[in-house]
Amino acid sequence: MNVIIYCRVSTKEQADQGYSLEAQEKACRKFALDNEYKTAKVFIERGESAKTQDRTQLKKLIEYSVRNKKDLSALIVWKFDRFARNLSDQTELLKSFGELGIHVLSCTENNEDSSIGKLMRNIVGSFAQFENDVKSERTISGMKQAVQEGRWCWRAPLGYKRLAVEGERSKIIPSNESQFIIKAFEMLGSGLHKQTEIFQHLKKQGCTKITKSLLNKILRNPLYTGLIKTDFFDNFIEGIHKPLISKELFFKVQDILNGKKPSITPKIRNHPDFPLRNFLRCPKCNTKLTGGWSKGRLGKKYAYYRCRHSKCSVNINKHDLETSFYGYLKAFHPKKEILDLFEEVVLDVWKTKQSEEIKNKYLIKKEMKFLKEKRNKIEDLIIDGKITEDTYNRKFEEVKQTLLTKQIELNETNIELNDIEACLAYCKYFLANIADLWLNSDHNLKQRFQNLIFPDQITYKQNGSFEPTVTALIFSHLGNKTPEEYTLATPAGFEPALLA
């Protein structure tokens, strides 16, 4: 019984870890010999890195299998995940070889056709898909980070348009249709108009895009008041875009829509005068500090942070504590030469990877377009009676298998392209000005900065210092280093993921 062997590594690291092509081929040949198979041909996929997914040998393997299916009994691989990282692609390949009458066997894994054997193969395939899933998670993570920064990542709603500025991230700004949005909220907020009346009024005023269902969505959308609400977070996020209406009007409209008595002012949970409240901890009992105003003998008010614990006497002047905290943030500013090196390393690595991915993706799509045109021509030939049915089946099967190979390549190279230059510029500015950004921000943004730099608890020491349990990873990498500590190669830990 004749068999063929397929071996593949996708990165040099795999070879270093014992997954070398030589080791795979040796194991596959031994498996064939032990099971009394005769090896007809060996296909070796020499992928030098994960950046290039050149699967020419897989294509040749499929073409060879189609031509010689009557003489082949099995295909032997080292592991099932040698086919593809994506589980659905792997399953489709196994199905295609099965239709050719060729069994796919692994020399290191379970080959049983029982339910347990199939389950084990699916489990192994799921791990192969893990890397693609991680990429998706990173994309979602990037969107979450953008939302936390107050940026709207999706299509601009009616009343806004997206503005792209060279060297900056795109943002949404009010469009000419913003006047209709403002009018809709004002009319409903007055309590004198129904939604049907507002709809008719906007149509007469020239708002051609409005529909009854869209109007209801607009009136429910907090984006128009400068707030972002997504499934990523439970609370509203303060957006960086210009609001069209006030928060008071928006929440009044919500109460009207919900059939409740209008409430002009939403409840404020955090006092804007005390950004460090519920953030810093008491140096004596580790309880979160609170903040408030105290009235002196002459009626003058004084702001203090104090411990919540009744038996604790910690009481700190607001100005003194926040000045100390500002000075503490200053110490986290990396040196300019470190930031420049950081930018150079990350940008070089990222651009190299992206350029190769983009080029490869373009070539694959071009080849797929050609194959689809070839498939259509084959169908036309059989319809016109210019080729026999056997020739049609053989040609069509070849194109079908090649298209499958290209689809797998595309799935493995399909990545999200990011504006890394703008991201790095913003990152450098943020890292170099964290103290002043905190000082000049509003209450909500101050608290976001605090939680970003110190994700866990931080204790205030009565000598004016602070003691965090954890500091954000990027500050740990950049804060206390000099350029001499790095080499021209990519420093360990400096990967684009740090920017997410």
Residue pLDDT, tens place only, 248-261: 899 999 888 888 75
CA distance 329 to 435: 5
Rounded Cα–Cα distance for residues 320 and 169 (Å): 37
Please tell me the total count of domains within the chain.
4
Residue 211 — pLDDT band, cuts 50, 70, 90?
Answer: very high
Give residues with Cβ within 8 angstroms of 469, minimum separation 6: 456, 457, 458
Domain with 245 in it: what CATH number? 3.90.1750.20
The answer to whether residue 441 is domain-embedded is: no
Q: Is residue 107 part of a domain?
A: yes
Confidence of residue 497 (pLDDT cuts 50, 70, 90): very low
Identify whether residues 488 and 399 lie together within a single domain: yes
pLDDT of residue 336: 84
Q: Based on the domain organization, do 102 and 192 belong to the same domain?
A: no
Residues 299 and 342 in one domain: no
418 and 345 inside one domain: yes
Domain boundary among 199, 225, 257: 257
pLDDT score for 137: 64
Task: Report whether pLDDT(265) > 50.
Answer: no
* Stretch 222-235: mean pLDDT: 88
Phi, psi of 351 (to 5 degrees): -65, -40
> Rg of the chain's alpha carbons, rounded to an integer?
32
- 408, pLDDT greater than 80: no
Residue 342 and residue 313 share a domain: no
pLDDT band at 50 (very low <50, low <70, confident <90, very high): very low
- pLDDT value for 98: 87
Q: Is the pLDDT of residue 489 over 50?
A: no
Q: Which of 253-267, 372-386, 423-437 has the lowest mean pLDDT?
A: 253-267
| Same-domain check for residues 28 and 88 | yes
Q: Which domain holds residue 358?
A: 334-432+470-500
- Is 350 within a domain? yes
**pLDDT at position 40:** 94
Yes or no: say if 6 and 82 are a contact pair by the CB < 8 Å rule.
Answer: yes
3-state secondary structure of 433: coil
Is 401 part of a structural domain of the chain? yes
Mean pLDDT of 59-82: 89
User: Distance between CA 435 and CA 449 in Å, rounded?
Assistant: 9
Q: Please state, rounded to an integer, the average pLDDT across all residues of the chain.
A: 80
Question: What is the pLDDT, as a whole number, of residue 488?
Answer: 36
Structure confidence at residue 481 (pLDDT): 52
What is the domain-level CATH number for residue 81? 3.40.50.1390
At 429 the pLDDT is 84
The reply to whether 478 and 342 lie within a common domain is yes
Say whether both 176 and 243 belong to one domain.
Answer: yes
Residue 311 has pLDDT above 90, yes or no: no
Tens of pLDDT, residues 77-92: 988 777 776 667 777 8
Question: Which residue has 């596959």 as its token pair?
Answer: 28
Question: 494 in a domain, yes or no?
Answer: yes
Q: In which band, very low, low, confident or very high, does the pLDDT at 264 lie, cut at 50, 70 and 90?
A: very low
N residues, the chain: 500
Residue 308 inside a domain? The answer is yes
Is the same domain home to 392 and 365? yes
Confidence of residue 109 (pLDDT cuts 50, 70, 90): confident
**In this structure, is the dihedral angle defined by the CA atoms of residues 375, 380, 383 and 384, taken in order, positive or negative?**
negative
* pLDDT for the residue 12: 52
Mean pLDDT computed over 304-311:
86
pLDDT at 17: 57
Residue 386 pLDDT class (50, 70, 90 cuts): confident
Give the per-residue pLDDT at 227: 92
| Cα–Cα separations (whole angstroms), residue 83 to 109, 119, 130 | 14, 18, 14
Residue 440 lies in a domain: no
Whether residue 372 sits in one domain with residue 320: no
Alpha carbons 334 and 376: distance in angstroms, whole number = 60
Cα distances (angstroms) measured from residue 150 to each of 154, 172, 239: 12, 11, 4
pLDDT at 224: 95
The percent of residues in the chain predicted with pLDDT above 90, rounded, is 24
Is residue 459, in this structure, part of any structural domain at all? Answer: no
Q: Are residues 92 and 56 in the same domain?
A: yes
Q: For residues 220 and 304, state if they share a domain.
A: no
Least trusted range by pLDDT, from 103-117, 120-134, 360-374, 376-390 = 120-134
